[in-house]
Amino acid sequence: MSENLAADVAAFLAHKRALGRKYLSEEATLHLLLVYTDQCGVTESAGLTPQLLDEFVASRSRRRARSFNHLIGVLGTFLDWAVSQQLLAATP
């Protein structure tokens, strides 16, 4: 398990970019997650709890369903990748 959430996000973005994807808007979304978790005092991947993620999503009010779905999709993709890389035991 990785201890540093920012390093995990950086590795995820590097992985996606190695596959030929730009992932610019996704990077911005994950940056928002890092800022939020930093404000909550969470710096470790293990600190990503369902409650924390629900609070993060609730703090990011979105007017359009497409924008909300993008937010959820980026988080889900990152968490699934973290599980596949054994950085997290399970998706919160």
Every domain of the chain and the residues it spans: 5-84
Q: Three-class SS string for 5-71?
A: HHHHHHHHHHHHHHCCCCCHHHHHHHHHHHHHHHHCCCCCHHHCCHHHHHHHHHHCCCCCHHHHHHH
DSSP reduced 3-state for 74 = helix
Torsion of CA 80, 39, 55, 26, to 10 degrees: -40
Percentage of the chain beyond pLDDT 70 is 97
Query: At residue 1, does pLDDT exceed 60?
Result: no
pTM of the full structure: 0.88
CA 72 centroid distance within chain: 9
Residue the block writes with tokens 């497409």: 66
Residue with the larger pLDDT of the pair 62 and 70: 70
